[in-house]
Amino acid sequence: MALDVALDIGTAQTRLATADRGVIVDEPTLVAIDTSTGDVVDVGHGAREVVGRTSRHVVVFRPFAQGTTIDFDVTARLIAHLFERAGVSKLSRARVVMSVPSLATAIERRALRQAAIQAGAREVSLIEAPLAAAIGLGLPVQDPVGSAVTVLGAGASEAAVISLGGIVSAGARRLGGNDIDAAIATALRTRLGVVVAPTAVEEIKCLLASARGRSLGMSQVVRARSVDRGELVEVEVTAELVNTALSDVIAGTVRMIQECLAETAPDLVVIEGLRACLEEMASLHALLRAAER
Ligand SMILES: Nc1ncnc2c1ncn2[C@@H]1O[C@H](COP(=O)(O)OP(=O)(O)OP(=O)(O)O)[C@@H](O)[C@H]1O
Ligand SMILES: [Mg+2]
């Protein structure tokens, strides 16, 4: 029997599922390579753990940025390693479906397809990320109604209206959670004079960031290093600081969704609640930015 595999390589996280075993990989998109031999030492969680534990020749790569591959060779090795874990080989006659951002170029698509074939897939189909997300959400993608979906990733964001099995209108930006982390890190440095570890910045985001201002009034004490003296200090980070830092990314994301909806035929969707919510978010962030100035 053929093996059916679904693969989603993201800027931050990689997921692999098979039809019979479900999700078997949900790990960071990291590949540890021994640069003296060129061998892959480990990928995902394992790659994060080898940092600083093995020889200096081992380098950890992030082969994806802004939603697409920036290093074809390392991506091909990542796919080969994941396929090995999933039991994909030339003998398994695997059919593989891979999600790609709609912004992926023809060259990027061809490279991903080739890497999967080389790693043992017999058939490879590519599916646009918003369509994959809509199917995963159980939306009625095949029906003659409009389904709107937004995918917010670490490096890219997309919005699409789907009907009759295809994308009717779409919007995309190379903007995502990583840009929010970078904006929060900048605000911590410029407004509080401290530097915080990247994982701690991500935690602050998950705790205090809210596009609709729902966290306003909350705060969190975090350990940081002062920029001027390099000392370890504790600072109180407020949701107001975090949400002000989000403004540009939120504005870009809201505009992307509005552009996608604007392209849609009026008889297909009347999503007034969504439009109102987008306008509310845009005006809230305009207010936060005005308050900062
Ligand atoms: N509760 C949360 N609040 C805000 N951001 C979150 C939350 N949970 C996860 N994230 C962010 O979502 C991003 C990861 O999303 P996802 O796994 O979809 O990205 P990806 O598929 O790796 O990226 P891309 O599709 O852009 O290549 C990270 O930036 C992470 O910090
Ligand atoms: Mg993704």
As a whole number of angstroms, the distance between CA 130 and CA 108 comes to: 18
Q: Is residue 225 part of a domain?
A: yes
pLDDT interval class at 144 (50, 70, 90) = confident
Nearest CA to ligand 1 atom 4: 206
As a whole number of angstroms, the distance between CA 85 and CA 48 comes to: 18
Specify the residue for token string 């994806």: 64
Query: Of all residues in the chain, what percent are helix, strand and coil, respectively (each to 5)?
Result: 40, 30, 30
Containing 209, the helix (H) or strand (E) segment is none
Residue 272 has pLDDT above 70, yes or no: no
CB of 44 sitting under 6 A from ligand 1: no
Residues 15 and 124 in one domain: yes
| Position in ligand 1 atom list of the atom nearest CA 178 | 29
pLDDT (0 to 100) of residue 264: 81
pLDDT (0 to 100) of residue 283: 78
Residues 95 and 179 in one domain: no
Tell which one of 13, 100, 103, 210 to mutate to probe ligand 1, the residue whose CB is within 8 A of the most ligand atoms: 13
As a whole number of angstroms, the distance between CA 222 and CA 231 comes to: 14
CB of 206 sitting under 6 A from ligand 1: yes
Containing 134, the helix (H) or strand (E) segment is helix 129-136
Interval 215-238: pLDDT, tens: 999 999 999 999 999 999 999 999
Q: Is residue 44 part of a domain?
A: yes
Residue 286 one-letter amino acid:
A
pLDDT (0 to 100) of residue 278: 77
**154: its two tokens:** 């670490």
Residues 100 and 210 in one domain: no
| CATH at residue 248 | 3.90.640.10
CB of 177 sitting under 6 A from ligand 1: yes
pLDDT (0 to 100) of residue 121: 95
As a whole number of angstroms, the distance between CA 8 and CA 14 comes to: 6
Q: Is residue 162 part of a domain?
A: no
CB of 12 sitting under 6 A from ligand 1: yes
Residue 270 has pLDDT above 60, yes or no: no
| Position in ligand 1 atom list of the atom nearest CA 205 | 4
N-terminal to C-terminal alpha carbon distance within the chain: 63
Residues 25 and 77 in one domain: yes
Residues 119 and 200 in one domain: no
As a whole number of angstroms, the distance between CA 94 and CA 123 comes to: 7
Residues 293 and 235 in one domain: yes
Interval 95-110: pLDDT, tens: 999 999 988 999 999 9
As a whole number of angstroms, the distance between CA 211 and CA 214 comes to: 8
Interval 44-68: pLDDT, tens: 999 988 876 766 789 999 999 998 8
CA 59 to chain centroid, in Å, comes to 22
Q: Is residue 166 part of a domain?
A: no
More confident residue, 264 or 267: 264
Find the 278 Cα to ligand 1 centroid distance in Å.
20
Residue 7 has pLDDT above 90, yes or no: yes
Residue 195 has pLDDT above 80, yes or no: yes
Ligand number, closest to the Cα atom of 242: 1
> Structural domain of residue 237, as residue ranges?
174-293
